[in-house]
């Protein structure tokens, strides 16, 4: 079976130990996490992990089963790229001189849909939110001029299908009234 | 003393009261019906031990001689009784000594709650004396764990701990309690936990899956059941028996499932796995329908997965959705507690018998008997075999004993030859294969089932891994029977060295001490035999003895356990010699 990119979405309670528990599931199977993002979700008091892995569908299924088995996990899903809307954000810190001296950079900023977040005397910061390919392209464009710092976030994604977590929680409350 | 106890008792009646976290821990245990715990004290758990002293009439604490022993004793207790075993330890080394037992309980689904002390909240992360990140360390080997840093958390978290340990697929839970939370006061009000919103212990059975499974059963010509511990944990023994008796399906067990159906039941065809019976292994690859009930297709059971039951339709009755298609792809998954799902399928299956198919098991049994079993249990060579010793235990105990085994050759022989009439009678470390398990587990088993005979069958290697627990047996006069099968080797490893490493016996020969003297040093009645003429009487004396008893049997040094599926080979390629 071929490896490909899967996005795993995990809805969970917000608990200190849970990140360790979830990353341990990957560690135990010697599977690398490509990126990981933890944030709040659309539901009050419910956290959302977005984990990207490059593996086979058989393995991603098993991993999701193991994640969902954890006590504090409400529900876990996996999706292919076609089934989600996903983005990453990158920050580029670049010497201010370039902004004024290099017309190419000015064009690049304008054409790339990136945003100047801040301008200091010595540097300015560009932010770009897009898919990985476009961020890479921008990186390649700027690299020859010198990038003082670069950072890219983990993938964040929403699925095209409905997740129905609220319904699940409601069902629990109704059954435990 | 008296007044302290009296007030303690009176206050139990009150609803909410102001008490310390340490006292709350004890009251939580009492509220969960715990009357026996195993543990070892130390600095960070001393406030709780102080309360144990006050509550000693209601809650017995057994001081094992090592924290690992506390976990295995709690496991033994849980496995015979179906209740949650409890172990307690201090922070740092006390806590890390629990790890083997936690891992064992995790892989063998044993309900256990471990409570550890931790340095005070303000010292966390300062590398304080005996600080260790036991929550981090124990995460991969616990069903759930949690660090309590405030006294008010204690009742709710301990209630949750017991609920999680016992419900669904059981497992170990570790609760780490900082010292300040033990000293601080809280308003105590205990409510049992009845649910956790993010946790579904038992999936809802799906009627379609059950109907599909019934249809496959009704169509099958050579159906075959392999059951595991799920049947015992789900208390589904009667339901399983009813199903196989109605359908006439031959049924085999994994070592974790052993004793759920009596050994001599006509449809009980024996043991699967690496050292299991010949027929049950080979015929796995000849059945047309495999019903896997409460088992998880461990590699020691399946051998090579690429050649495992490929010809058969497979139905998996399982409580844990994460087990479905984990190792073996199945045609139908029947999720739920086996007690419910088996009861639901019973009216849907046709009454049947499979005489010819059953005969195939009988034929294979005869082959195995002629080549292996006969020589194991009625040997003619001079040296004693492990098999004949177990036969004597069967005879002397009337097949009524709980057999607790350690890990190695003796374990496989005991699982193969011990006979059982009652469920929850074979206590063994199946998944982790933990040497040192048996002696402390036998202590727990005896305390969890005081009316039953408990015989620990142990190798000379594993015995010395937790031998210090003889101290517990002596101090509390726990009437377990300790049967050491001494071959002066790490036998199972030596067998592999003989078969697969051209007899290079690297570090498997042991020069052993005088085991009888050691037992006698603990004032435990002890005996040793090495000749066949003395064996039956010695085993009988051990079983009939009222108190704890140690018996060493010096067996043939270089015997091997057969049949054997060489590791990575197919169940079809099981070797009889
Ligand atoms: C804690 C632990 N260490 C190592 C092993 C590997 N191991 C499996 S069986 C065995 C030999 C056991 O020897 P003994 O206790 O004498 O029993 P026998 O096989 O001779 O019956 C060993 C070393 C293990 N299972 N557990």
Cis ω before B563 (30° cut-off from 0): yes
Beta carbons of B466 and B104 less than 8 angstroms apart: no
- Does B183 share its domain with B213? no
- Does B49 share its domain with B122? yes
Contacts of residue B370, Cβ cutoff 8 Å, sequence gap at least 6: none
* Residue B395 CA to ligand 1 centre (angstroms): 27
For ligand 1, atom 20, which residue shows the shortest CA distance? B491
Kindly state the average pLDDT of the residues B535-559: 98
Identify whether B448 is part of a domain: yes
Residue given tokens 């924290």 in the structure block? B67
Among the listed ranges A163-172, B117-126, B214-223, which one has the minimum average pLDDT value?
Answer: A163-172
Q: Chain A neighbours among B 303-342 (CB < 8 Å)? A: 320-322, 324-326
pLDDT in tens, B421-467: 999 999 999 999 999 999 999 999 999 999 999 999 999 999 999 99
Closest to B198 (Cβ–Cβ): which among A62, A74, A173? A74
- Does B160 share its domain with B214? no
- Does B87 share its domain with B168? yes
pLDDT of residue A105: 80
* Residue B470 CA to ligand 1 centre (angstroms): 20
- Does B137 share its domain with B74? yes
ipTM over 0.85: yes
Alpha-carbon separation of residue B38 from A41, B112, B182 (angstroms) = 42, 11, 19
Q: How far apart are CA B274 and CA B309, in angstroms?
A: 15
Residue given tokens 């709650």 in the structure block? B113
Identify whether B380 is part of a domain: no
Q: How far apart are CA B440 and CA B4, in angstroms?
A: 33
Contacts of residue B259, Cβ cutoff 8 Å, sequence gap at least 6: B232, B420, B422, B423, B424, B425, B426
* Residue B492 CA to ligand 1 centre (angstroms): 6
* Residue B393 CA to ligand 1 centre (angstroms): 22
- Which DSSP string do the residues of B291-304 spell out, in sequence order? EEES----HHHHBS
From its phi and psi, is residue B477 left (phi > 0), alpha (psi between -120 and 50) or beta? left
Q: How far apart are CA B361 and CA B283, in angstroms?
A: 8
pLDDT of residue A1: 78
Q: How far apart are CA B122 and CA B126, in angstroms?
A: 9
Note whether B164 contacts A: Cβ–Cβ < 8 A. yes
Identify whether B485 is part of a domain: yes
In which band, very low, low, confident or very high, does the pLDDT at B6 lie, cut at 50, 70 and 90? very low
Q: At what angle do helices B338-345 and B207-219 cross, to 10 degrees?
A: 60
- Does B93 share its domain with B215? no
Residues from chain A that touch B196, judged by Cβ atoms under 8 A, are 71
Q: Given the CA of residue B410, which atom of ligand 1 is nearest to it?
A: 21
Residue B4 confidence (pLDDT) above 70: no
The count of structural domains within chain B is 3
When computed from its CA atoms, the radius of gyration of chain A, rounded to whole angstroms, is 20
Q: What does DSSP assign to residue B285?
A: G
For residue A165, the chain B residue with the least C-alpha distance is B198
Cβ–ligand 1 contact at B492 (below 6 Å): yes
Active site residues of B: 67, 129-130, 179, 492
Q: Given the CA of residue B465, which atom of ligand 1 is nearest to it?
A: 1
Our separate counts of H helices and E strands in chain B read 25, 20
Q: For the CA atoms of B102, B297, B319, B144, what is the dihedral angle to 10 degrees? A: 20
CA B447 to chain centre: 15
Residue from A71, A167, A175 to probe the interface with B (highest B Cβ count within 10 Å): A71
Closest by CA position to B230, among listed B300, B311, B298, B162: B298
- Does B413 share its domain with B551? yes
pLDDT of residue B507: 96
- Does B453 share its domain with B532? yes
CATH number of the domain enclosing B518:
3.40.50.970
Cβ–ligand 1 contact at B462 (below 6 Å): yes
For B205, the 3-state DSSP assignment is coil
pLDDT of residue B2: 40
Q: How far apart are CA B429 and CA B446, in angstroms?
A: 17
Nearest-CA distance from B130 to chain A in Å? 21
Cβ–ligand 1 contact at B437 (below 6 Å): no
Under CATH, what is the fold of the domain A87-152? Alpha-Beta Plaits (3.30.70)
Same fold, A4-85+156-169 and A87-152: yes
- Does B297 share its domain with B421? no
Closest to B139 (Cβ–Cβ): which among A17, A69, A172? A17
In which band, very low, low, confident or very high, does the pLDDT at B120 lie, cut at 50, 70 and 90? very high
Residue B470 confidence (pLDDT) above 90: yes
Kindly state the average pLDDT of the residues B289-297: 98
Residues from chain B that touch A61, judged by Cβ atoms under 8 A, are 325
Residue A98 confidence (pLDDT) above 50: yes
Identify whether B202 is part of a domain: no
pLDDT in tens, B481-529: 999 999 999 999 999 999 999 999 999 999 999 999 999 999 999 999 9
Contacts of residue A12, Cβ cutoff 8 Å, sequence gap at least 6: A18, A46, A47, A48, A49, A70, A72, A73, A74, B198
pLDDT in tens, A16-35: 899 999 999 999 999 999 99
Residues from chain A that touch B199, judged by Cβ atoms under 8 A, are 71-72
Closest by CA position to B190, among listed B14, B337, B316, B346: B14
The percentage of chain B sitting over the pLDDT mark of 70, rounded to a whole number, equals 97
* A47-55 and A33-40 strand pairing: antiparallel
* B144-148 and B251-253 strand pairing: unpaired
Share the mean pLDDT of chain B.
96
What are the beta bridge partners of residue B404?
A: B427, B456
Q: What does DSSP assign to residue B58?
A: T
Does the distance separating the beta carbons of B197 and A74 come in below 8 Å? yes
Kindly state the average pLDDT of the residues B251-273: 98
For ligand 1, atom 3, which residue shows the shortest CA distance? B435
pLDDT of residue B14: 53
Cβ–ligand 1 contact at B433 (below 6 Å): yes
Cβ–ligand 1 contact at B439 (below 6 Å): no
Q: What does DSSP assign to residue B570?
A: B
Alpha-carbon separation of residue B551 from B171, B255, B395, B457 (angstroms) = 33, 24, 16, 10
- Enumerate chain A positions whose Cβ falls within 8 A of a Cβ in B: 12-13, 16-17, 20-21, 24, 27-28, 61-62, 65-66, 68-69, 71-74, 169, 172-173, 175-176
Contacts of residue B328, Cβ cutoff 8 Å, sequence gap at least 6: B292, B297, B302, B305, B308, B309, B314, B316
Kindly state the average pLDDT of the residues B471-480: 98
pTM: 0.95
Q: Given the CA of residue B436, which atom of ligand 1 is nearest to it?
A: 1
* Residue B436 CA to ligand 1 centre (angstroms): 9
Kindly state the average pLDDT of the residues B181-187: 98
Count the residues in chain B. 577
Kindly state the average pLDDT of the residues B36-65: 98
Count the residues in chain A. 177
- Does B213 share its domain with B174? no
Tokens matching residue B517? 């003297």
Q: How far apart are CA B568 and CA B570, in angstroms?
A: 7
Kindly state the average pLDDT of the residues B211-222: 98
- Does B328 share its domain with B472? no
Residues from chain B that touch A73, judged by Cβ atoms under 8 A, are 198
- Which DSSP string do the residues of A114-165 spell out, in sequence order? -EEEEE-SSEEEEEEEE-HHHHHHHHHHHGGG--SEEEEPPPEEEESS---H
Identify whether B135 is part of a domain: yes
Cβ–ligand 1 contact at B82 (below 6 Å): no
pLDDT of residue A43: 93
Cβ–ligand 1 contact at B489 (below 6 Å): yes
Alpha-carbon separation of residue B80 from A55, B76, B424 (angstroms) = 42, 6, 5
In which band, very low, low, confident or very high, does the pLDDT at A90 lie, cut at 50, 70 and 90? very high
Does the distance separating the beta carbons of B194 and A17 come in below 8 Å? no
Q: How far apart are CA B482 and CA B472, in angstroms?
A: 13
Nearest-CA distance from B204 to chain A in Å? 13
pLDDT in tens, B132-163: 999 999 999 999 999 999 999 999 999 999 99
Alpha-carbon separation of residue A159 from A67, A87, A163, B23, B189 (angstroms) = 18, 12, 8, 49, 43
In which band, very low, low, confident or very high, does the pLDDT at B5 lie, cut at 50, 70 and 90? very low
Boundaries of domain holding B472: 386-558
Identify which of B435, B487, B488 to mutate to test ligand 1's pocket (most ligand atoms within 8 A of the CB): B435
Beta carbons of B244 and B349 less than 8 angstroms apart: no
Q: How far apart are CA B380 and CA A34, in angstroms?
A: 63
Nearest-CA distance from A72 to chain B in Å? 5
Domain over A4-85+156-169 is classified CATH 3.30.70.260: yes
Residues from chain B that touch A20, judged by Cβ atoms under 8 A, are 136, 139
For residue A67, the chain B residue with the least C-alpha distance is B322
Note whether B147 contacts A: Cβ–Cβ < 8 A. yes
Alpha-carbon separation of residue B351 from B121, B176, B249, B489 (angstroms) = 63, 53, 10, 50
Residue given tokens 């994640």 in the structure block? A67
pLDDT of residue A51: 98
In which band, very low, low, confident or very high, does the pLDDT at A110 lie, cut at 50, 70 and 90? confident
Residue B1 confidence (pLDDT) above 50: no
Identify whether B57 is part of a domain: yes
* Residue B493 CA to ligand 1 centre (angstroms): 7
Identify whether B3 is part of a domain: no
- Does B335 share its domain with B399? no
Cβ–ligand 1 contact at B515 (below 6 Å): no
Domain ranges, ordered by start, for chain A: 4-85+156-169, 87-152
Cβ–ligand 1 contact at B409 (below 6 Å): yes
Identify whether B289 is part of a domain: yes
Beta carbons of B316 and B341 less than 8 angstroms apart: no
Q: How far apart are CA B222 and CA B325, in angstroms?
A: 23
């Amino acid at each position: 079976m071929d490896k490909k990119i899967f996005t795993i979405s995990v809805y969970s309670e917000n608990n200190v130990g849970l990140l360790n528990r979830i990353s341990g599931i990957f560690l135990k199977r010697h599977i690398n996490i490509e990126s990981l993002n933890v944030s709040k979700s659309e539901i009050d008091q419910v956290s959302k992990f977005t984990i990207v892995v490059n593996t086979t569908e058989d393995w991603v299924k098993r991993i999701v089963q193991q994640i969902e088995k954890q006590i504090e996990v409400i529900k876990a899903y996996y999706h292919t790229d076609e089934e989600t809307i996903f983005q990453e954000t990158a920050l580029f810190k670049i010497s201010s001189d370039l902004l004024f001296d290099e017309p190419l950079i000015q064009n690049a900023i304008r054409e790339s849909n990136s945003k100047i977040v801040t301008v200091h005397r010595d540097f300015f910061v560009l932010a770009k939110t897009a898919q990985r390919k476009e961020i890479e392209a921008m990186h390649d464009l700027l690299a020859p001029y010198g990038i003082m710092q670069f950072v890219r976030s983990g993938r964040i994604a929403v699925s095209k299908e409905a997740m129905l977590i609220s319904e699940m929680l409601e069902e629990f409350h109704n059954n435990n009234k | 003393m008296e007044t302290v106890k009296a007030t303690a008792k009176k206050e139990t009646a009150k609803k909410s009261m102001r008490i310390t976290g340490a006292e709350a821990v004890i009251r939580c245990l009492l509220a969960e019906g715990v009357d026996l715990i195993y543990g070892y004290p130390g600095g960070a758990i001393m406030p709780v031990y102080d309360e144990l002293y006050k509550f000693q009439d209601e809650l017995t604490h057994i001081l094992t001689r090592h924290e690992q022993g506390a976990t295995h004793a709690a496991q033994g207790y849980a496995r015979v009784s179906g209740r949650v075993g409890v172990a307690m330890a201090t922070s740092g080394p006390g806590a890390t000594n629990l790890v083997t037992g936690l891992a064992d309980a995790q892989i063998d689904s044993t309900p256990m709650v471990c409570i550890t002390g931790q340095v005070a909240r303000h010292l966390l992360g300062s590398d304080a004396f005996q600080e260790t990140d036991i929550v981090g360390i124990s995460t991969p080997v616990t069903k759930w764990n949690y660090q309590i840093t405030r006294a008010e958390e204690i009742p709710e978290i301990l209630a949750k701990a017991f609920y999680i340990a016992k419900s669904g697929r059981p497992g170990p839970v570790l609760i780490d309690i900082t010292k300040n939370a033990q000293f601080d006061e809280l308003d105590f009000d205990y409510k049992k936990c009845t649910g956790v919103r993010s946790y579904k212990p038992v999936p809802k059975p799906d009627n379609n899956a059950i109907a599909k499974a019934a249809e496959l059963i009704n169509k099958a010509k050579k159906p075959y059941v392999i059951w595991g511990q799920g049947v015992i944990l789900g208390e589904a023994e009667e339901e399983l028996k009813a199903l196989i008796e109605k359908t006439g399906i031959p049924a085999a067990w994994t070592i974790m499932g052993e004793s759920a159906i009596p050994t001599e039941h006509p449809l009980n065809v024996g043991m699967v796995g690496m050292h299991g019976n010949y027929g049950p292994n080979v015929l796995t690859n000849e059945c047309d329908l495999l019903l896997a009930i409460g088992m998880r297709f461990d590699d020691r059971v399946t051998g090579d997965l690429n050649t495992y039951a490929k010809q058969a339709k497979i139905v998996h009755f399982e409580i844990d959705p994460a087990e479905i298609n984990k190792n073996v792809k199945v045609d139908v998954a029947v999720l739920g507690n086996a007690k419910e799902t088996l009861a639901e399928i019973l009216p849907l299956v046709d009454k049947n018998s499979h005489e010819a198919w059953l005969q195939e098991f009988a034929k294979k049994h005869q082959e195995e008997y002629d080549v292996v079993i006969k020589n194991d249990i009625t040997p003619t060579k001079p040296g004693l075999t492990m098999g004949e010793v177990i036969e004597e235990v069967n005879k002397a105990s009337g097949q009524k004993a709980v057999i607790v085994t350690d890990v190695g050759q003796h374990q496989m022989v005991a699982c193969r030859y011990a006979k059982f009439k009652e469920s929850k009678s074979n206590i063994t470390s199946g998944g982790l294969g933990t040497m040192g398990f048996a002696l402390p587990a036998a202590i727990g088993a005896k305390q969890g089932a005081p009316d039953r005979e408990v015989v620990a069958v142990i190798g000379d290697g594993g015995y010395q891994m937790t031998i210090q627990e003889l101290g517990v047996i002596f101090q509390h006069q726990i009437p377990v029977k300790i049967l050491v099968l001494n071959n002066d080797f790490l036998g199972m490893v030596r067998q592999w060295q003989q078969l697969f490493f051209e007899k290079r016996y690297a570090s498997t020969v042991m020069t052993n001490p005088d085991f009888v003297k050691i037992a006698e040093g603990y004032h435990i009645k002890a005996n040793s035999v090495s000749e066949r003429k003395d064996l039956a009487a010695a085993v009988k004396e051990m079983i009939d003895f009222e108190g704890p008893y140690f018996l060493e049997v010096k067996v043939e040094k270089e015997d091997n356990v057969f049949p054997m599926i060489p590791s990575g080979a197919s169940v079809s390629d099981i070797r009889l010699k």
